[in-house]
Amino acid sequence: MAKSDDCMHILQGLLVFGNVVIGMCGIALTAECIYVVSNPHGAYPLLKATENSDIHAAAWIGIFVGLALFALSILGIIGVIKASRTLLLVYIILMVITFAFEMASSITAATHQDSLTPNVFLKQMLERYQKSDPNNNSDNEVTKTWDELMHQNHCCGVNGPSDWQEYTSAFRGTHSDADYPWPRACCVLDAKGLPVNLDGCKLGVAGYYNRNGCYDAMSGPVNAHAWGVAWFGFAILCWTFCVLLGTMFYWSGIEY
């Protein structure tokens, strides 16, 4: 019996340790998802305009899952120490449900990130940038966001200024190609917001226009948020899986 007692103590210790880690990770997940939800990056209005804000759904689920994990881990620690069959059964069932929710959140975040290809932003930019309809607030948001993006990151278009040449756009409809091969926001601007050298910008002389595309600057923060939610959730779930299997084995060995 001594040997079983040792096994039991070791398993209890491992389970308590596992639950402590789950509790801490739950808090961390909640903190991370609150950060993602409350800290929209500069390109967030563009994401909103694509009507694809799955990342927010995933983050909201993540907040609640994190809190649930913390609460359940406390329940688990109590159940393991008292070796109570009922407590542990409740713990296991609730944990499986939480596992399923976190799985949904993680997969949603990963899928969302895949769906944001450059073409999505390119099409939106071509169709809505400087679309001169003063009643449409969403288009004005898109225009303002793009202007700020191009100004702050010294970039032009999604892939480069050639976007404006290769495709027709709402912008092209109101601005002639000879005067505006690309928007003025693509030019290097001085402190007053005027192009440093307008002819140089129109010709495309290096140094007077922004040559790079904005996709890298945009997708960086978006990807960071999505991968943070997706992969951290995945890591927590792998650890939870092990702890749950251990708990089931422990539960099946408790005398009642």
Partner 1 sequence: KVGPAPALTKQPLEGLTTASTFVLDQPRCVFKDFGNAVIWLVVALAKDAPAFNNSAGPGTPETAFQSFPEPVSAYMTLNATLGSYPCIEPPRDITVLRVGSETSCAKDVSRPTCNGPLPGPGPYRVKFLALEGSVPVAETDWSMPITLRTAKSPSSLSTAGSGHSAGMIAITAILSILLAILLAALVAMLVFCSSDSCGSSTFSKPDSVSVRRYNTHHVYDQAAARL
Nearest-approach distance from CB 117 to partner 1, in angstroms: 6
Distance separating alpha carbons of residues 187 and 178, to the nearest angstrom: 15
**Contact partners, residue 247, CB within 8 Å, separation at least 6:** 15, 76, 80, 88, 91, 92, 95
Distance separating alpha carbons of residues 215 and 195, to the nearest angstrom: 23
Phi/psi class of residue 91: alpha, beta or left (left: φ > 0; alpha: ψ in -120 to 50)?
alpha
Nearest-approach distance from CB 92 to partner 1, in angstroms: 6
First-to-final CA distance of the chain? 17
Q: Which is nearer to partner 1, 75 or 103 (CB)?
A: 103
Q: Which is nearer to partner 1, 4 or 137 (CB)?
A: 4
If DSSP codes are grouped into helix, strand and coil, which group holds residue 189?
strand
Distance separating alpha carbons of residues 165 and 181, to the nearest angstrom: 7
- Residues 209, 197 contacting (CB under 8 angstroms): no
Q: For binding to partner 1 (CB under 8 A), which residues are involved?
A: 1, 4-5, 8, 83, 85, 92-93, 96, 99-100, 103, 106-107, 110-111, 113-115, 117, 119-120, 122-123, 126-127, 161-162, 165-169, 172, 176-179, 181, 199-200, 202-206, 209, 211, 227, 230-231, 234, 237-238, 241, 244-245, 248, 250-256
DSSP structural state of residue 186: G
Nearest-approach distance from CB 111 to partner 1, in angstroms: 6
Nearest-approach distance from CB 237 to partner 1, in angstroms: 6
Nearest-approach distance from CB 90 to partner 1, in angstroms: 12
**Contact partners, residue 190, CB within 8 Å, separation at least 6:** 196
Q: Looking up tokens 């990770």, which residue turns up?
A: 25
Nearest-approach distance from CB 17 to partner 1, in angstroms: 18
Q: Which is nearer to partner 1, 179 or 192 (CB)?
A: 179
- CB burial readout 218-243, b (16+ within 10 A) else e: bbeebeebbebbbebbeebbeebeeb
Q: Which is nearer to partner 1, 38 or 256 (CB)?
A: 256
Nearest-approach distance from CB 71 to partner 1, in angstroms: 19
If DSSP codes are grouped into helix, strand and coil, which group holds residue 209?
strand
Cα angle vertex 207, ends 203, 210, to 5°? Answer: 80
Q: Which is nearer to partner 1, 218 or 244 (CB)?
A: 244
Count of all residues that appear for the chain in the document: 256
Q: Which is nearer to partner 1, 39 or 93 (CB)?
A: 93
Q: Which is nearer to partner 1, 107 or 217 (CB)?
A: 107
